[in-house]
Amino acid sequence: MLTVSSIADLRTLVKKWRREGDRVAFVPTMGNLHAGHLKLVDEASKAAERVIVSIFVNPSQFGPGEDFASYPRTEDDDAKALASCSVDVLFLPKADAMYAEDHGTSITVDKLSALHCGLSRPGHFAGVAIVVAKLFNIVQPDMAFFGEKDFQQLAIIRRLVRDLNFDVEIKSVATVREADGLAMSSRNNYLSSEQRKCAPELYRLLCSARDKAQKPESQLGEIQREAITTLKSLGFEPDYVSFCRTSDLEPASEQDSELVLLAAAKLGKTRLIDNLIFSRYARH
């Protein structure tokens, strides 16, 4: 595995691979890798001859008072984990190469970016959109892999690729969970031991809400309100629990059949997100 920090060097390498007829799969990350990231890498290695993984803690997606400065940076350990996988290049771009001092370009994916996490983290998805666009322009991958845990982010990236005509196929990979159901996340490391014991309740609550939504007499709004009340009683600070259409993340109606149940809640200072994707019989 090569470690590359120069954009020019990476582009030269990718051009060489293309001349040889190799396909390129890309896994963008912010590091502090866990089994969920490595699952993305594994799927990427099955789909293409060459795999590039990037690690870049992107400052533009962190808002005021968020954890940019304290976000865990574990590049040495990450490199060791990737070296045992089928990774050709670890791309470690420098911040000044990604963002010039007078950087002034922005990308906003309207509507999708204003919903759910976008309400409580204004500007976050604009930061995601610009860095993903920049990375796609640098790497020029045939396909890129993203986890379904960040379902809203995944939807925004799909829309970005469609609207800007990027020649890259977006591949999604199911959420990887701990044995007790907690969705894997780098921010889980922030949880205290007591909070870590409580954290899986978010997933269990989502499973219960999904099961209730499958019943013919169910009322989605009532289930959402009940879920928020339950989270509060367990010590969470809920941001939202929302049944949405998978197509556009707008609120689901009783007539919709393809749904995603999105949730975000703080446990102490740690913000947890999770979701469940499911189908139900639509009412007519």
Chunked into runs of 10 residues, the chain (284 residues) has average pLDDT values of: 98 98 98 97 98 98 95 96 96 97 96 97 97 98 98 98 98 98 97 98 98 92 98 98 97 94 98 97 70
Residues known to be catalytic: 37
Q: Is residue 284 part of a domain?
A: no
Indicate which CATH number applies to the domain containing 257. 3.30.1300.10
Query: Residue 216 has what pLDDT?
Result: 86
Ramachandran category for residue 140: left, alpha or beta (phi over 0 → left; psi -120 to 50 → alpha): left
CA dist., res. 126 & res. 61, Å (int): 7
Its domain, for residue 144, covers 2-173
Final residue of a structural domain among 173, 205, 231: 173
Are 166 and 237 part of one and the same domain? no
* 3 state DSSP class of 173: strand
Letter for the amino acid at 124?
H
Are 159 and 197 part of one and the same domain? no
Within 8 A by CB and 6+ apart from 262, the residues are 116, 151, 152, 240, 241, 242, 244, 249, 273, 275
Contact predicate 91/55, CB 8 Å: yes
Q: Pull the structure tokens for residue 91.
A: 């791309």
The domain tally of the chain equals 2
Are 213 and 244 part of one and the same domain? yes
Query: Residue 283 has what pLDDT?
Result: 67
Are 218 and 268 part of one and the same domain? yes
CA dist., res. 193 & res. 201, Å (int): 14
Q: pTM of the full predicted structure? A: 0.96
Within 8 A by CB and 6+ apart from 43, the residues are 145, 171, 173
